[in-house]
Amino acid sequence: MKVTAGRQGKTNRSDCYFELTSARSGGIKLKVQSKVESMYGESVRNLILEMCEFFEIKNLKIYLEDYGALPFTLAARFELAVKRLYSEIQKEYLPPFNPNSKYKTSKERFRRSRLYLPGNQPKLFINAGLHKPDGIILDLEDSVSPQEKDAAQLLVRNALRAVDFYGAERMVRINQLPKGLEDLKYVVPHNVHVILIPKCETADDVVAVRDEVNKIKKANKIRSKIYFMPIIESAKGVINAYEIASAADEVCAVAIGLEDYTADIGAQRTNEGKESFYARSALVNAAKAAGVQAIDTVFSDVNDMEALRQSVLEAKALGFDGKGCIHPRQIKVVHEAFAPTEEEIEKAKKIVAAFEEAKAKGLGVVSLGSKMIDPPVVKRALKTLEYLKQM
Amino acid sequence: MKMIKNAAGRLVPDEINNQKQIPYKGVGKYKPTGHKYGPPIRSCADYPADGNKVVKNLREALERAGLKDGMTISTHHHFRDGDALTNMLFDTIHKMGVKNIRWFPSASFPVHSHLIKYLEDGTIHHIEGSMNGPLGRFASEGKMRGVGVLRSHGGRWQAIQDGEVHIDIAVIAAPTADPFGNATGDRGPAACGLLGFALADSIYADNVIVATDNLVPFPCIPWQIQGNNVDYVVEVPTLGDPSKIVSGTTRVTKSPDRLLIAEYIARFVDAAGFVKDGFSFQAGAGGINLAFLEFLKARMKEKGVKARFVRGGSTQYLVQMLEEGLTDFILDGQTFDLEGVRSMRENPNHVNTSPFTSYNFHGKGNFASMIDFVVLGATEVDLNFNGNVVTHSDGYLLHGIGGWQNCLTSKCTILAIPSFRDRIPVIVDEVTTLVGPGELIDVIVTERGIAINPNRKDLIKAVKGSGLPIKPIEQIFEEVNAIVGGKPAKPKLNKDKVVAVIKWVDGTVIDSVYQVEK
């Protein structure tokens, strides 16, 4: 029997292609064609032989085309090929955990930008963190074709262990339930911070994910928190937004996905966005009522930075805390647009100063000039200054 | 042939192709004396009084020039990968049965893989010039009869002027020429901009042939090559493929990582205080370089700052700067796209230059050393900031030096490099081939951070507090090695077989390139 894994073709970079043919005898026959033969040929062969030993494979014909794949990619592709050939193999070959990838997250941290990375394209993973998004999303859902879901699961698992995302929050978008529940065992044990639950329609979806996550956490003795970001992409989801946002303590934010939503309500998506105004506002309201962040949809025109800026300013005005990015160059624009303006900062400083003064004097009422300042206004001013501190 | 250790600690041959070699002695240390080389005396009485030097074809011109075995023939790379003339030239030489030619191109391109058969059958003995792609591979595998010699654009002038290379016949491809031999590159169906790389050859070669596919009546105005230096003019049906001579459009990189590098460079040169009225720079035409221009332009506009001059390689992006008034002049060394050609033809402030103005070690000064900063690339850089641009980490010779060595003399030399390509780290413990000494390389900009040469305390101080990711070069090196799974293995080279030498700008030998063991 013969199986393949990975992508074949000289235009591939930082990836590889395996062909495995089962054999009853003859030992391990390994043929390698590598773009980096003289520099890493030996290291590539050693890894594959070590993995054969790990999976207790005695006889196998292996053909590899290597286009400069990094070790975590080579290992994921080979494990995939092995498992496609021998479906009974359950063992996992885990690359060493990068010491820089053990950091934690918190429920309140900023989530202004989140960068989507297609889960089956390893070359995009390595430098994603350098662009300093608040979060990176390794995507198992829409950017991965149905026949490559198993490939992306292994690749994302290895990436969570091996790749340094330089402090970005480590997110994974699983598949739509119930299939998405199958994805969890590939990510929960590997310091994932946030699980994105796509096409979330009811609180039950969130609960199902939570229960499965807890089961895996228990089995793997994981104590750190894993948060959820349900993505609402349907009319029904919008109606249930508050229930979804408050379905579990682990929900840190709710996001809206407008492509599917507009299709669901039978409207065309326009630049003006009248058709989604209700849904976006309803989502913000539900999120804030549940005490979580509201995250806006992705902006898909990667060449129009000015339109992106406008779109973020509009989202900010509606009450959103974050925006989805599909290209690293969008990140800076999103951060700039979410940042408080000079005017907002000045005002916040004055309000906080007045608040401190009132506190020092033991006054119950804060006033600025002749105007009385309500507690929520003080809170928002504190938040603005906190934002500056975190930047 | 004996191998000697030069001042950079590299082993180099004391003799190649029966010519004695001087080992590299250090930057600015070797200064030959005596008089420059002079071409043979000619008399106008021997040339047609009516000025018509047109002969029937290349073969006749070569015959009249006295082509024979072992001669040195020079060509030029203005037509880049679209060059048809050089291939046609060697087809003719081959048909004439002449052998052992020393080919002295200003650069070669993949299109010249056509010549491999002539290297194999002995028509060409060896190449002294860049060996790009397939020719480099051929040489690296030890298949060339002689030893290759790689020189910078300035080094080519130096070698011609001090007599190290005596050119028997120069063949100059001219997009437009007249029967007297006046020639220009800025117009005609194969317009390429300028002909600066052929200037030295036109002055110093024993015989000069101008070949053109656009013969105009005398006078050809402007003349970049002066007809008074030309022996024969040949009309040919085509010089090459214009779409590969200059690109219709040069493009800024779309890669986010390369854009990040470009942005870091723009922030760096600004933080270091270079971006002020009257400044100058050179940035080339690679994807990162063009993106850098865009970031720099935005900063210049914001600050209301204007450059005095920019050294090209010109492209549409540089032309925009000139036309938007962001620089007074472009001093152009080669033209990469149609906009560059148009601008040079139409705008008197877009000036055509040659390696003589900027790069020649025997010149009485050079523009290159007057430039505030230059942005270059490299295939490898080592922990001592030494740079390599000719070989890859697998030992194969795949690129020429171009003006790279000459540009290192600018006030601030910046290398823009991705920290690794596929799995191959660009920062290594020791370069495979030494092309530029680390003392001349000031800043390395990668997507993982910026390393400043510890000798440049002034730069380190200037960018302090800029928020830029300044890191020791060792830190980037370690970071990348952790990603790629350890240091790359060194290539297997046959150290007994030197296939090419790398000349420093003064004509000394800075390093050797060895045969790659398969």
Predicted pLDDT of residue A363: 80
Which residue in B260, B393, B486 is closest to A131 by CB distance?
B260
Interatomic CA distance for residues B414 and B440, integer angstroms: 10
Question: Are A37 and B484 within 8 A, CB to CB?
Answer: no
Task: Please determine, for residue B248, whether its predicted confidence score (pLDDT) is greater than 80.
Answer: no
B484 and chain A: CB distance < 8 Å anywhere? yes
pLDDT tens-digit series, residues B103-155: 999 999 999 999 999 999 999 999 999 888 899 999 999 999 999 999 999 99
A131 and chain B: CB distance < 8 Å anywhere? yes
Classify each residue of A347-366 as buried b or exposed e, where b means 16 or more C-beta atoms within 10 Å of its C-beta.
bbeebbebbeebeeeeeeeb
Region B465-490: what's the mean pLDDT? 96
CA distance A221 to chain B (A): 28
DSSP codes joined into one string, B289-316: HHHHHHHHHHHHHHHT--EEEEE--B-H
In chain B, the residue whose alpha carbon lies closest to the alpha carbon of A34 is B423
Angle ∠(B112,B118,B124) on CA atoms, nearest 5 = 95
Question: Are B256 and A68 within 8 A, CB to CB?
Answer: no
Residue whose C-alpha is closest to residue B392's, from B360, B355, B433: B433
Residue whose C-alpha is closest to residue A245's, from A291, A282, A305, A211: A291
Classify each residue of A277-301 as buried b or exposed e, where b means 16 or more C-beta atoms within 10 Å of its C-beta.
eebbebbbbbbeebebbbbbbbbee
Question: Are B422 and A14 within 8 A, CB to CB?
Answer: yes
- Of the two residues A361 and B222, the one the predictor is more confident about is B222
Write out the two tokens for A173: 């978008």
Which region, left, alpha or beta, applies to residue B66 given φ > 0 means left and ψ of -120 to 50 means alpha? left
* Per-residue confidence band for A391, with pLDDT thresholds at 50, 70 and 90: low
Task: Please determine, for residue A76, whether its predicted confidence score (pLDDT) is greater than 90.
Answer: yes
Name residues whose C-beta falls within 8 Å of residue A117's C-beta, 6 or more positions apart in sequence.
Answer: A124, A125, A128, A136, A137, A138, A139
Residue whose C-alpha is closest to residue B499's, from B57, B126, B240, B220: B126
Mutate to test the interface with B, among A32, A39, A116, A331 (most CBs of B within 10 A): A39
Predicted pLDDT of residue B384: 98
Question: Are B423 and A39 within 8 A, CB to CB?
Answer: yes
Interatomic CA distance for residues A316 and A112, integer angstroms: 10
Question: Are B423 and A36 within 8 A, CB to CB?
Answer: yes
Which residues in chain A touch residue B394, judged by CB atoms under 8 angstroms apart?
36-39
With H, G, I as helix, E, B as strand and everything else as coil, classify residue B263.
Answer: helix
Beta bridge partners of B422: none
Class of residue B71 by CB neighbours under 10 A (exposed 0-12, middle 13-18, buried 19+)? buried
Q: Which amino acid is at A388?
A: L
Which residues in chain A touch residue B485, judged by CB atoms under 8 angstroms apart?
40, 43, 70-71
Which residues in chain A touch residue B447, judged by CB atoms under 8 angstroms apart?
127, 130
pLDDT tens-digit series, residues A16-48: 999 999 999 999 999 999 999 999 999 999 999
B483 and chain A: CB distance < 8 Å anywhere? yes
Cβ(B218)–Cβ(B180) under 8 Å?
A: yes
- Of the two residues A361 and B494, the one the predictor is more confident about is B494
A336 and chain B: CB distance < 8 Å anywhere? no
Name residues whose C-beta falls within 8 Å of residue B247's C-beta, 6 or more positions apart in sequence.
Answer: B336, B337, B338
Which residue in B256, B423, B482 is closest to A329 by CB distance?
B256
Which residues in chain A touch residue B448, judged by CB atoms under 8 angstroms apart?
130
Task: Please determine, for residue A369, whether its predicted confidence score (pLDDT) is greater than 90.
Answer: no
Class of residue A310 by CB neighbours under 10 A (exposed 0-12, middle 13-18, buried 19+)? middle
Which residues in chain B touch residue A165, judged by CB atoms under 8 angstroms apart?
none
Strand order in the sheet with B54-55: B54-55, B232-235, B207-212, B169-174, B72-75, B101-105, B124-127
Which residues in chain B touch residue A302, judged by CB atoms under 8 angstroms apart?
none
Question: Are B394 and A130 within 8 A, CB to CB?
Answer: no
Write out the two tokens for A234: 């349907």
pLDDT tens-digit series, residues A99-155: 999 999 999 888 999 999 999 999 999 999 999 999 999 999 999 999 999 999 999
Task: Please determine, for residue A387, whether its predicted confidence score (pLDDT) is greater than 80.
Answer: no
Write out the two tokens for A353: 């100063």
Classify each residue of B207-221 as buried b or exposed e, where b means 16 or more C-beta atoms within 10 Å of its C-beta.
bbbbbbbbbbeeebe
Classify each residue of B365-389 as buried b or exposed e, where b means 16 or more C-beta atoms within 10 Å of its C-beta.
ebbbeebbbbbbbbbbbbbbbbbbb
Class of residue B437 by CB neighbours under 10 A (exposed 0-12, middle 13-18, buried 19+)? buried
Question: Are B488 and A42 within 8 A, CB to CB?
Answer: no
B491 and chain A: CB distance < 8 Å anywhere? yes
Predicted pLDDT of residue A252: 97
Question: Are A327 and B395 within 8 A, CB to CB?
Answer: no
Question: Are B489 and A36 within 8 A, CB to CB?
Answer: no
Which residues in chain B touch residue A13, judged by CB atoms under 8 angstroms apart?
422
B469 and chain A: CB distance < 8 Å anywhere? no
Task: Please determine, for residue A78, whether its predicted confidence score (pLDDT) is greater than 70.
Answer: yes
pLDDT tens-digit series, residues B74-88: 999 999 999 999 999
Question: Are A14 and B423 within 8 A, CB to CB?
Answer: yes
Mutate to test the interface with B, among A38, A40, A65 (most CBs of B within 10 A): A38
Mutate to test the interface with A, among B254, B422, B487, B515 (most CBs of A within 10 A): B422
B464 and chain A: CB distance < 8 Å anywhere? no
Residue whose C-alpha is closest to residue A162's, from A138, A198, A133, A179: A138
Separation of CA A210 from chain center? 17
End-to-end distance of chain A based on CA atoms, in angstroms?
Answer: 56
Write out the two tokens for B257: 């990582």
Query: Residue B225 belongs to what H/E stretch?
Result: none
Restricting to B residues 381-420, those with a Cβ less than 8 Å away from any Cβ of A are: 393-395
Kindly report the backbone phi and psi dihedral angles of residue A58, in degrees, each rounded to the nearest multiple of 5, phi listed first. -100, -35
Task: Please determine, for residue A49, whether its predicted confidence score (pLDDT) is greater than 90.
Answer: yes
Write out the two tokens for B298: 């935005």
Query: Residue A194 belongs to what H/E stretch?
Result: strand A194-197
- Crossing angle of helices B287-303 and B256-271, rounded to 10°: 40
B254 and chain A: CB distance < 8 Å anywhere? no
Interatomic CA distance for residues B32 and A282, integer angstroms: 81
Which residue in A38, A68, A130 is closest to B492 by CB distance?
A38
Write out the two tokens for B245: 């001579």
* Per-residue confidence band for A268, with pLDDT thresholds at 50, 70 and 90: very high
Predicted pLDDT of residue A360: 85
Query: Residue B148 belongs to what H/E stretch?
Result: strand B148-150
In chain A, the residue whose alpha carbon lies closest to the alpha carbon of B447 is A130
Predicted pLDDT of residue A373: 82
Interatomic CA distance for residues B262 and B252, integer angstroms: 10
Mutate to test the interface with B, among A34, A40, A124 (most CBs of B within 10 A): A40
* Per-residue confidence band for B219, with pLDDT thresholds at 50, 70 and 90: very high
Angle ∠(B333,B338,B343) on CA atoms, nearest 5 = 65
Domains detected in chain B: 47-128+165-245 (3.40.1080.10), 256-493 (3.40.1080.10)
CA distance B470 to chain A (A): 14
Region B270-298: what's the mean pLDDT? 94
With H, G, I as helix, E, B as strand and everything else as coil, classify residue B282.
Answer: strand
* Total Cβ atoms within 10 A of residue A378: 19
Cβ(B199)–Cβ(B240) under 8 Å?
A: no
Region B242-250: what's the mean pLDDT? 79
Residue whose C-alpha is closest to residue A366's, from A382, A353, A380: A353
Round the average pLDDT of chain B to a whole number and report it: 96
Question: Are A36 and B488 within 8 A, CB to CB?
Answer: yes
pLDDT tens-digit series, residues A178-220: 999 999 999 999 999 999 999 999 999 999 999 999 999 999 9
Which residue in A39, A42, A43 is closest to B394 by CB distance?
A39
* Per-residue confidence band for B40, with pLDDT thresholds at 50, 70 and 90: very high
Name residues whose C-beta falls within 8 Å of residue B380's C-beta, 6 or more positions apart in sequence.
Answer: B387, B388, B391, B392, B393, B426, B427, B428, B431, B432
Question: Are A43 and B485 within 8 A, CB to CB?
Answer: yes
Which residues in chain A touch residue B257, judged by CB atoms under 8 angstroms apart?
127, 130, 328
Task: Please determine, for residue B518, whether its predicted confidence score (pLDDT) is greater than 80.
Answer: no
Classify each residue of A183-221 as buried b or exposed e, where b means 16 or more C-beta atoms within 10 Å of its C-beta.
bbbbbbbbbbbbbbbbbbbbbebbebbbebbeebbeeee
B447 and chain A: CB distance < 8 Å anywhere? yes
A40 and chain B: CB distance < 8 Å anywhere? yes
CA distance A28 to chain B (A): 23
Interface A–B counts its CB contacts (< 8 A) at 63
Task: Please determine, for residue B458, whether its predicted confidence score (pLDDT) is greater than 70.
Answer: yes
Which residue spans within B21-147 are E strands per DSSP? 54-55, 72-75, 101-105, 124-127
Question: Are A39 and B488 within 8 A, CB to CB?
Answer: yes
Which residues in chain A touch residue B422, judged by CB atoms under 8 angstroms apart?
13-14, 35-36, 67-68
A186 and chain B: CB distance < 8 Å anywhere? no
Question: Are A68 and B421 within 8 A, CB to CB?
Answer: yes
Task: Please determine, for residue B364, whether its predicted confidence score (pLDDT) is greater than 90.
Answer: yes
CA distance A92 to chain B (A): 20
Question: Are A131 and B492 within 8 A, CB to CB?
Answer: no
A50 and chain B: CB distance < 8 Å anywhere? no
Domains detected in chain A: 2-85 (3.30.230.10), 99-338 (3.20.20.60), 342-390 (no CATH)
B462 and chain A: CB distance < 8 Å anywhere? no
Q: Which amino acid is at B64?
A: R
Cβ(B494)–Cβ(B299) under 8 Å?
A: no
